[in-house]
Chains A and B, each alone.
Chain A
């Protein structure tokens, strides 16, 4: 059974940093590109970032480019999102997703709140 378990969310002040993690199981992690998608309170889905199978290619939404860094460790079956210079508008549930290439599995999400 495919499982994606996000962690690392929390309350952070504007300008602060946070690192999200996603532990994957139930599939060969290194064979699949992965993505992060977020959803602000009461709003729609926003694709944030994606990474290739090897980690050699990474892609970002304009809204986070230069502030967020996606990475993966295939030896640990883990996906990461390093977030810095956080803003109030980054407040959202962050979902880790598997790309097949459509996003066929989603984690339960981790909540990030940016507030002073």
Chain B
């Protein structure tokens, strides 16, 4: 099975900072990569699909890139409401493995 590895596992940044989270697949998955945001105590929400397509309603400070095995989620200017855990997920085939998550906090 394909493994999904995120880094870092956690980060602390200041409001307004540019934040980057990476996700690596152990084999190529084309662009079948999604990013989810889970705020504390809340249900996960889809942020990005097809590696770089923003889900409707998601602020434009979020962006995604990558293809094959290496992917990136970028928050261009971190806001207090972005405090959450972020997960990548492959969905080209089963199992639809998630990364282990990246916890983002405000410094």
Contact = CB atoms under 8 A, between A and B. Distances in A.
B89 A103 contact: yes
A47 B43 contact: no
Interface of B: 1, 32, 34, 36, 38, 43-46, 49-50, 55, 85, 87, 89, 91, 94-101
Given A44-B87, A45-B87, A103 B98 contact: no
B11 to A, nearest CB: 16
Interface of A: 35, 37, 44-47, 50, 59-62, 95, 99-104, 106-109
Given A101-B91, A103-B46, A109-B43, A47 B100 contact: no
Contacts of A109: 43
B95 A61 contact: yes
27 contacts: A35-B96, A37-B98, A44-B85, A44-B98, A44-B99, A44-B100, A44-B101, A45-B36, A45-B98, A46-B98, A47-B95, A47-B97, A47-B98, A59-B95, A60-B94, A62-B1, A62-B95, A95-B43, A95-B44, A102-B34, A102-B89, A102-B91, A103-B91, A103-B96, A104-B55, A106-B43, A108-B43
